[in-house]
C-alpha cells in the first residue's frame, strides 16, 4: 500500500485534530498537530512575559526563537504525541484559554511560521502522514495527495469548545468562547502570511450537522480512494 500525505485544514474548533488523530491510527500513519506547535511558541512567549495587554513583543520573540526547541513524544495512554517544549511536556498547558487567546497573534509572525513550517516539512519527508492546521494544503504540502478543509458554524464550534473547557474545569462563559472563536477566525483568515484559505483542490466538509462518526467515515473513504490510486 502506497503512503500518501493527508492535509487537514480548517477553522478552529472544527474537530480537525480528533479526526486527524483517528485517521492516522486507522491508516497506521504519523500524526502531527501543527496548532500545538504554534501554541507551544505562544506558551514560551507568555512565560517570558513577552505578551502584555494582548500585545506580543515580536522583537523579543523573534530574537529568541533559536532557543525554542519543539519535539513530539509518544504518549501511550493517549495513543498520540505530546508536545515537548525545550524538554518539558507542555501538552496540557498549551490547551489553556490563556494560550488560545494569544496564539493567533503569535501565529501571524512571519519568522515563527518559517521556523515551524520547516520542521513540519521535515516531519512529512517520508509521507505516510496526517497533518492538521491552517496552511498545510496551501503552504506546507501543496502537493499533498488528499486535502480536506473542515468548517462548521461559529456557534456550533464555540459550543463544542465550551463543553470541552467546562469538562476540564475552566471558569469561562459561552460568550467568551464564542468571541475567541470569531476572533481567531478573523485573524487566521485575514492575516498576510499564509492565511487560512480553501485551496481549489481541497475537499470542503461542513460538519455542523455531522456526527464525528459520519465525518470520520467520509474522510476515511476519501483517504482509501486516494491511497488506492496513488
Cβ atoms within 10 Å of 82's Cβ, excluding its own: 18
Helix (H, G, I), strand (E, B) or coil at 177: helix
Q: Does 133 bind ligand DC (CB under 6 A)?
A: yes
Q: Does 45 bind ligand DC (CB under 6 A)?
A: no
Q: Does 90 bind ligand DC (CB under 6 A)?
A: no
Interface mask toward ligand DC for 8-27; x: CB under 6 A = ----x---------------
Contact, 7 vs 131, CB < 8 A?
yes
Q: Which residue has the cell 512565560?
A: 47
Q: Does 103 bind ligand DC (CB under 6 A)?
A: yes
Residue partners of 183: CB distance under 8 A and separation at least 6: 104
Q: Does 83 bind ligand DC (CB under 6 A)?
A: no
Binding residue for ligand DC, selected from 68, 107, 144, 165, defined by CB under 6 A: 107
Stretch that binds ligand DC, among 30-38, 59-67, 141-149, 210-218 (CB under 6 A): 30-38
Binding residue for ligand DC, selected from 151, 184, 202, 223, defined by CB under 6 A: 184
C-alpha cell belonging to residue 91: 501538552
Give 163 or 221: the residue with its C-beta nearer to ligand DC: 163
Stretch that binds ligand DC, among 84-92, 134-142, 167-175, 198-206 (CB under 6 A): 134-142
- Report the C-alpha gap between 112 and 135 in whole angstroms: 14
Q: Does 138 bind ligand DC (CB under 6 A)?
A: no
Which residues, listed in sequence order, are joined to residue 203 by a DSSP beta bridge?
A: 148
Stretch that binds ligand DC, among 31-39, 46-54, 56-64, 149-157 (CB under 6 A): 31-39
Minimum distance, C-beta of residue 2 to ligand DC, in the bound complex (Å): 25
Q: Does 104 bind ligand DC (CB under 6 A)?
A: yes
Contact, 183 vs 170, CB < 8 A?
no
Which ranges constitute the DSSP H helices of 28-173? Answer: 34-47, 58-63, 97-107, 110-123, 154-167
Give 183 or 224: the residue with its C-beta nearer to ligand DC: 183
Q: Does 35 bind ligand DC (CB under 6 A)?
A: yes
CA neighbor of 142 nearest in space, from 186, 219, 194: 194
C-alpha cell belonging to residue 68: 525554542
Size of the site for ligand DC (CB under 6 A): 14
Residue partners of 75: CB distance under 8 A and separation at least 6: 81, 82, 91
Residues that bind ligand DC (CB under 6 A): 12, 34-35, 38-39, 103-104, 107, 133-136, 184, 188
Amino acid at each position: 500500500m502506497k503512503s500518501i500525505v493527508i492535509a487537514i485544514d480548517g477553522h478552529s474548533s472544527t474537530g480537525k485534530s480528533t479526526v486527524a488523530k483517528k485517521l492516522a491510527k486507522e491508516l497506521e500513519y504519523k500524526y502531527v498537530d501543527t496548532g500545538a506547535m504554534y501554541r507551544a511558541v505562544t506558551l514560551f512567549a507568555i512565560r517570558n512575559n513577552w505578551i502584555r495587554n494582548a500585545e506580543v513583543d515580536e522583537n523579543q520573540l523573534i530574537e529568541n526563537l533559536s532557543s525554542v526547541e519543539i519535539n513530539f513524544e509518544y504518549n501511550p495512554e493517549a495513543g498520540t504525541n505530546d508536545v515537548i517544549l525545550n524538554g518539558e511536556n507542555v501538552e496540557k498547558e498549551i490547551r489553556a484559554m490563556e494560550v488560545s487567546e494569544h496564539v493567533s497573534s503569535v501565529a501571524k509572525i512571519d519568522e515563527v511560521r518559517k521556523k515551524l513550517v520547516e520542521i513540519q516539512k521535515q516531519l512529512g519527508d517520508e509521507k505516510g502522514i496526517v497533518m492538521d492546521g491552517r496552511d498545510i494544503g496551501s503552504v506546507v504540502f501543496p502537493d499533498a495527495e488528499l486535502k480536506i478543509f473542515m468548517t462548521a458554524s461559529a456557534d456550533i464550534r464555540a459550543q463544542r469548545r465550551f463543553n470541552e473547557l467546562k469538562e476540564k474545569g475552566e471558569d469561562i462563559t459561552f460568550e467568551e468562547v464564542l468571541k475567541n472563536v470569531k476572533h481567531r477566525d478573523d485573524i487566521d483568515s485575514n492575516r498576510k502570511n499564509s492565511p487560512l484559505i480553501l485551496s481549489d483542490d481541497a475537499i470542503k466538509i461542513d460538519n455542523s450537522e455531522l456526527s464525528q462518526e459520519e465525518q470520520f467515515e467520509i474522510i476515511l473513504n476519501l483517504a482509501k480512494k486516494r491511497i488506492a490510486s496513488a
